[in-house]
Amino acid sequence: MTERNACIVGGGMCKWGVREASYIDMVQEAAKECLDDIPGLKPKDIDGLLFASAFVGRRSVQANTAPVVAERLGLKPTSICARVDVLCASGSTGILLATGLVESGMSDIVMVVGGEKLYTPERWQVQYDEIAAIDHDWDSPQGIGPPPIWFALTAKEHMKYYGTRREQFGTVSIINYDYGFSNLKGHFQRQLTMDDVLNAAEIAAPLNLYDCCPLSDGSATVIIASEEKAKELSDRPPVYILGGAQTSLHSVTANWPGDHLGDWPHLRLAAEKAYERAKIDSKEVDVAQVHDCFSISEIIELEELGFCPKGEGGPFVESGQTKIGGSIPANTDGGLISCGHPFGATGIRQAMEILKQLQGRATNQIEDAAVGLTHNLSGVNVEHTIVIYSREPRK
């Protein structure tokens, strides 16, 4: 069989934030914008649907959601119709699965749509429900569940072993809020000073309010298609999916795979596998979307993805290397910290930004961007998922 290339063709998202809308409302908004982004695509052309969502069952009391979403979007899938739940990496996992379906010949055009309705009148329940996202038998009873606690411990370890400073965490937030200021679909549109960050309410020391991403209601959608179909559907140049990887080396936090919490070997392994499959190295990546659920996570991810030496993520960010003109512009639409984090939609929103960067139509455009990378972690850092995109097909 002739080798098939999978491409990302277009995308759309609704407004993210605290929404007076159901998950179906937001999925329909995002899917409409996606279809508007690809004038040559009709719902009848889409033969596969993957719906990425972690909390739709708990928050919307709806099981078997993929057929419901397909019905509401006017789709009649004939190759795949399934829900994907890998918490924060649900969207990027859906993209990897859609890529495999297209490359295998099982599907021609797959819609990957992600969404969460997290806020209900009982807002306390959003945080309570998050405890269900970690190992419920072992970690939850020990109080490890709320993510800020785990990442605060991670930040302390990184400070201890590498000398990372509080101001370097703040620089991550300031840069990402600067990028997000022009993203009208994101949760926040504001800018920060270092005083804002350092004097904000403490969440879990050493992390303050602006070191943490908000949980958000929201949805995002992309279309993954064969190269042949992509060229039929759009006059824009196709963006190829070169490869990706997902690793999970533990679930219980007591079985942490690294030497300490600032050491992430599972991300290093995912990066190694993703670069190998894409046939590139980290120096060839022009723009990245990394999982800045907390400021410390972006610092460590830049290290483990090979964008700077281990332990130097703090000075790397502080020197402006993630800004436009730096060595690896990152989270150029605001990232999780500014855009927000409706779990299942985040990896899809990241893919949309990379698509626009490589097609030259992003708001915060990187000149001549040719290769882009997205990264998500899941839960209390138990999984890592990477997808690599390019203007050119695999070598």
Q: Are 59 and 118 in contact (CB under 8 A)?
A: yes
Q: Residue 79 has what DSSP assignment?
A: S
The tokens describing 362, both together, are: 């992003």
CA atoms of 66 and 332, how far apart (whole Å): 31
Q: Are 79 and 333 in contact (CB under 8 A)?
A: no
The residue from 88, 212, 308, 339 that is catalytic is 88
CA dist list (Å): 273 to 71, 116, 254:
37, 30, 25
Amino acid at 351: A
Assess whether 88 carries a catalytic annotation.
yes
CA atoms of 185 and 29, how far apart (whole Å): 12
Across the beta sheet with 48-52, what order do the strands follow? 80-84, 48-52, 109-116, 218-226, 6-13, 239-247, 383-390, 371-378, 287-289
CA atoms of 188 and 57, how far apart (whole Å): 27
The tokens describing 341, both together, are: 């984090």
Q: How far is CA 236 from the centre of its chain?
A: 24
Assess whether 34 carries a catalytic annotation.
no
Q: What angle do CA 124, 130, 135 make, to 5 degrees?
A: 145
The residue from 158, 341, 375, 384 that is catalytic is 341
- Residues identified as active-site: 88, 341
